[in-house]
Chains A and B, each alone.
Chain A
Amino acid sequence: MDKVINESENHFFSGKKSTSEIKGKIFIGITQLAVILIIAILFIILGIIIYQGRTKFSWEFISTFPTNGMTEGGIFPALIGTFILVIVMSIAAVPFGTITALYLTEYASENSKFAAAVRFSVRTLAVVPSIIFGLFGLGFFIQFLGAGADTVFNDGQLRWGQPNILWASLTMSLLTLPVIIVSVEESLKTIPRELREASLALGATKWQTIKKVVLPGSVSGIMTGTILAVSRGAGEVAPILFTGAAYYLATLPGSLSDQFMNLGYHVYIMSTQSSDVEKTMPIQFATTLVLLILTLSLNVVAVIIRSRIRRKAK
């Protein structure tokens, strides 16, 4: 097709053809350059962090505590802290997100104003700056719920009214909620209408249909959403800046009301506020590398699952 068009152009505007073609080449070239530039930047970042981080990166680094005022040793507590954070976060966010997605695809009617409002607020949640979630966590979870719980159950003793894992995880779960909702919704949409209709035609009620037909079909979608949310939650720092992350802890957190160390926060604090930034540079790069490996590999897994869903839908 294209060749035919080009030939006809050739016939009618033989004089103009060359300039237009050159223009086209330049234009396409520019767009191509943009793509190449973005991909190049991405690989440069990856390359430099891998190159600088490789010296310190080892099993020992991952499995030991920081020592000597955080200038030596590993990042074990930060890794564990991140781990606990994303687990508590997922426990809070996944059911909530799945049910909201179920509502949007299964129950809400096409023109429902309420569903539109829910959609809008989910999208708003996705664009609210992460630092606002941190403020919200401080204002709502810590100072309203936490301090409230302390006065009611704890006789004003400070236990929940201060930064800890629980509040940080809940704050993070609000941030990652849209990620889960969107991917569950997407996977629910790929379940063929016929399956639902067949189930309903067999006499199953709507709830039975959802439980037996729709939900099993969306398991991979829920998994993708959870993985993406975990990847996001593991990397975000701003929401936990003042809802639970600690600079240094000598022990692992023992309960949900303890503070915790976090990989991203560790990177931030080591690179900006460490006593000896130059000396700890290898540690910083290695920590960043660990964080990057964590988030990127989770994302790759999610992409693979998602593409499998899409192929199945076809």
Chain B
Amino acid sequence: MDSQLPIKQSFTKESLKKKFRLSEFLAEKIISSIAFLSIAIIFLIFIFVFKESLPLFSLGSDAKAKTEAQVTTANKSESYGASSEELKPESYGADTAEDLKPESYGTETTEELKPETYGSETAAKDDLKPESYGDTPKEDLSVAPAGEMMNAESQNKEGSDKTWSTFFSTEWVPVSDNPRFGLIGLLIGTLKVTIIAMLIAGPLAVLAALFTSCFASKRIKEIIKPIIEMLAAFPSVVIGFFALMVLASFFQDVFGYDSRLNAFIGGVAMALAAIPIIYTISEDALASVPKTYTEASLALGASKWQTAFFVVLPAATPGIFAALLLGVGRVFGETMIALMATGNAALLSANPFESVRTFAATIGSEMAETVFGETHYSVLFFIGSLLFIFSFALNAVAEFYVKGKLLKKFQGK
């Protein structure tokens, strides 16, 4: 009897309720619009990383692209004014850039190798220079009427023409009279490190996950899992530092190769960074295989390891595949370890014990030295957008493949 009374009261207060609903509505809208921001961030990241690389796309042949580029260059110069051009080098180069240059290029490995790459190219460079520079004034004249921005713009365009053609070469010489941005060398370096890292991290992490989910007792599992996840808490700069200071010397003593910092060291160190990711995700995938599968297998007389190897592991393949993909994504974009442990020389060879330079490390080490708006700057942002697209695609594949396949498998559809 008592309980019915308050309910009736609240029904009579209709007006009050409506007021509440308005604030409720507002709260909900605010919350969902903040949630929307996380989608917006992804778009913003792509747009702003890609935007800075746009000058590269201002090729003379495409009129539309040209106007687009003009708009962007016009906007830029407007917003940053004349003062920023004078100030920019200062702000970036105050203490870091000057200190960076000599050291990062002057490790033992590069010193030996640089003369070679420069020596072989000098003749070609000399041939190219007068030609390419001779073209510029002509181009300047032909596009001159478009406005006062032409000087900067034509520079960009001339740069972009040359830049695109050098993308598919193998040399990465961004700072010279005749800069070449050979992405192939960087790509091969990145792939080399990624493959080495995945060859080490993949099997190790998946086997460890298999042990924890199939063979370990509950108590051991509770010890192992947090310890391996602790590895994920190691900052990459710490792993890079360890590789640089300890691993590099150790492996040099063992294998006796020439360059102390190389793709192999980088790969080993990056494997350490990738192991916790691959481990956690594949452990989840293995644990989510329905109990009925293992019980059926055991009931049929299969032993524990046969069940684990022939039933659980195949059933969890999509999840493990996704784990490996995400591991690849992690290694591909890993910056600090690549900066510290791979030697940072863009060499073209199949030897895993040679120094390499990865995409991410290139951005990390050279961004501080570039001038805003330069071709080099745009190229670095272009590499950044490539990295972004790549990791986005990997994540999408991992996500949708796993969702589709796993659901199909376990729900018997």
Contact = CB atoms under 8 A, between A and B. Distances in A.
B368 A242 contact: yes
Interface residues of A, number: 107
B83 A117 contact: no
A148 interface: yes
A139 B340 contact: no
Contacts of A48: 242, 246
A125 B38 contact: yes
B: interface residue count bin: 35 or more
Contacts, number: 314
A87 interface: no
B399 A39 contact: no
Contact of B34 (A30, A100, A117, A147): A100
Contacts of B207: 30-31, 33-35
A42 B228 CA distance: 8
A255 interface: no
Interface string A288-314: 100110011011000100000000000
A interface: dominant SS: helix
Interface string A122-150: 11110111111111101110011001100
A150 to B, nearest CB: 8
B1 interface: no
Interface stretch (B91-99, B148-156, B159-167): B91-99
A125 B330 CA distance: 12
Nearest to B325: A127
A195 interface: no
A284 B364 CA distance: 20
A131 B250 CA distance: 29
Contacts of A104: 35
A100 B38 contact: yes
A99 B205 CA distance: 34
B48 A144 contact: yes
16 contacts: A2-B298, A33-B207, A45-B242, A49-B242, A99-B35, A103-B34, A127-B394, A130-B335, A132-B49, A147-B84, A206-B24, A242-B92, A242-B368, A264-B237, A296-B230, A298-B233
Interface of B: 6-7, 10, 20-21, 23-24, 27-28, 30-32, 34-39, 41-42, 44-45, 48-49, 51-52, 79-81, 83-84, 87, 91-92, 95-96, 99-100, 103-104, 203-205, 207-208, 210-212, 214-216, 224, 226-231, 233-242, 244-246, 272, 275, 279, 298, 301, 303-306, 308-309, 326, 329-330, 332-336, 339-340, 360, 363-364, 367-368, 372, 380-381, 384, 387-388, 391-392, 394-396, 399
Interface of A: 1-2, 5-6, 8-9, 12, 20-21, 23-24, 27-28, 30-35, 37-39, 41-42, 45, 48-49, 96, 99-100, 102-104, 107-108, 114-115, 117-118, 120-125, 127-136, 138-140, 143-144, 147-148, 151, 156-158, 161-163, 174, 177, 181, 203, 205-207, 231, 234-238, 241-242, 246-248, 264-265, 267-269, 271-274, 281, 284-285, 288, 291-292, 295-296, 298-299, 303
